[in-house]
Amino acid sequence: MSSSHPLFRPTRWLPGGHLQTLFSPLFRSKPELARQRERITLEDGDFIDLDWYGPQGEQTRCAILLHGLTGSSSSLYILGQQRALAARGWQSVAVNWRGCSGEPNHRARGYHSGASEDLADIVKQLMARYPSKPLVAVGYSLGGNVLLKYLGETGSQCPLRAAVAVSVPFRLDHCADRISQGFSKVYQARFLRALRHYVESKQHAFRQQGRTDELARLMSLETLEGMKTFWDFDGRVTAPLHGFASADEYYQRSSSAYFVSAIQVPTLIVHAEDDPFIYPHSVPKAAALPDCVALELFPSGGHVGFIEGSLWRPRYYLEHRLPTWLDAQVPHAAPTYNAQAIAL
C-alpha cells in the first residue's frame, strides 16, 4: 500500500463491516445533481441509459461509473462520486446496466457480473464519439468485477487511461457462499427479492409490448419460487439467460480473479477485509498482481462503505481518495468545474 496518501481511518462510531456497509444507504442524504440522460443502443439492439454530469469538452477528462448489483446511476455512492469528480474538473457518465434505469430493457437477457461485452460496447461508442477525450472507469462491487474482467480481456489494447475497482467480488462462487452465512443472509434476501422483481417486471412489460419471443425465453425459466441463495438464482436465471450451462460455469467464466493478471493499465483496487459479502481469502495477494495494479486493503470499511469523520460530519473516503488517485494518473491543468463542494 502506498504511503503517499492519507490512510483510511474508519470512524469509531461505525465499528465493523456491517455498520460501514449500511450507514450510507440508510442515512445519507441524496446528493442532488442536474444530470443529462442519454440512451445508447447496444450491438444486439438493446439499450443502456447513461447519466452525464460535470464539465463538457472534447478533451475534458471523463470517468465512466459502474454501479453494483440491484443498483443504478442513482445509487448514493455513484451520485457522491459524480459530484466529487466534478469538483476536480472531471466529467463523468454513470452507466445504468440493462434494465436498471427504471425501465425494463428490451431483451430477456439482463446484466450480470461478467457482462464485460456491454462495457466494451459502451467504451467503443464513447471513444468513437470523443477520440480526444481521456477515459477512465470506476466500478463498484458487481461493476468492479465487470471492469476488472474487461481490463484483463483487453490487456495492452485497453483504451482506458486508468481504472478503479471498489469492493470487488473477485470469486463469485466464494461470494455466493459468503453472503449465505450469518447476518449477511439479510443482504442476500434483499438482493434476491430485487432480482426476482427485475425478472417479473420484464415479464409484465414484454406482455404489454408484445415482445413474444423474449417473453417466451423468460417464461421458459425454472420457477422463481423458493429461491433462497445466489446459487439458486444464478442457476435458474442468470446462467440460462446468458449462455452458461450452470451457476458454477457462470462463476468460473465471470470471476475477475481469473483476469486481473492480464491487466496492463494503471488500476487501483480498494477493499476491506471485513466486507460482509466477500471472504478475505478471495482477494488476490498484492504480490501476485501486475506492477500496474495497486491494492489498498484495509482492515475495516465494509462493502462500499469506507466512512470516516464524526456522526454529525461523516466523510466518504472514496470520494476523496479516488479523484486524487485519478488526478495523478491523468493530470489536467484546466480550471475545475464550479460544482457544489463535496461534504467533508
CATH code assigned at 240 = 3.40.50.1820
- Residue 6's pLDDT is 61
Assess if residue 282 is contained within a domain. yes
* pLDDT of res. 340: 43
173 domain residue, yes or no: yes
- Domain membership of residue 340 (yes or no) is no
Half-sphere exposure of 143 (CA within 13 A, CB side): 29
Residues 6+ apart with CB under 8 A from 193: none
Q: Could you tell me the residue range of the domain that residue 91 belongs to?
A: 17-329
Cα 22 off chain centre by: 17
- The angle, 0 to 180 degrees and rounded to 10, between the axes of the packed helices 76-87 and 17-27 is 80
Helix (H, G, I), strand (E, B) or coil at 74: coil
Q: CA 248, CA 130: separation in Å to the nearest integer?
A: 39
Pairing relation of β-strands 36-41 and 293-298?
A: unpaired
Distances (CA, A) of 169 to 57, 61, 253: 35, 28, 13
Tell me how many domains the chain contains. Answer: 1
Q: What does each of the 344 residues of the chain score in pLDDT, given as a tens digit? A: 333 456 899 999 999 999 999 999 999 999 999 999 999 999 999 999 999 999 999 899 999 999 999 999 999 999 999 999 999 999 999 999 999 999 999 999 999 999 999 999 999 999 999 999 999 999 999 999 999 999 999 999 999 999 999 999 999 999 999 999 999 999 999 999 999 999 999 999 999 999 999 999 999 999 999 999 999 999 999 999 999 999 999 999 999 999 999 999 999 999 999 999 999 999 999 999 999 999 999 999 999 999 999 988 999 999 999 999 999 999 975 444 444 433 33
202, 237 Cβ separation under 8 angstroms:
no
Question: Which residues are designated catalytic?
Answer: 141, 275, 303
pLDDT of residue 344: 31
The answer to the question of residue 4 being in a domain is no
pTM over 0.85: yes
- For residue 7, the model assigns a pLDDT of 85
For residue 338, tell me if it sits in a domain.
no
The predicted pLDDT at position 338 comes to 44
Helix, strand, or coil (residue 113): coil
Task: Count the alpha carbons within 13 Å of 71 in the hemisphere toward its beta carbon.
Answer: 23
Q: Is residue 11 part of a domain?
A: no
The reported pLDDT for the residue numbered 236 is 97
DSSP classification of residue 237: I
- 112 in any annotated domain: yes
169 belongs to a structural domain: yes
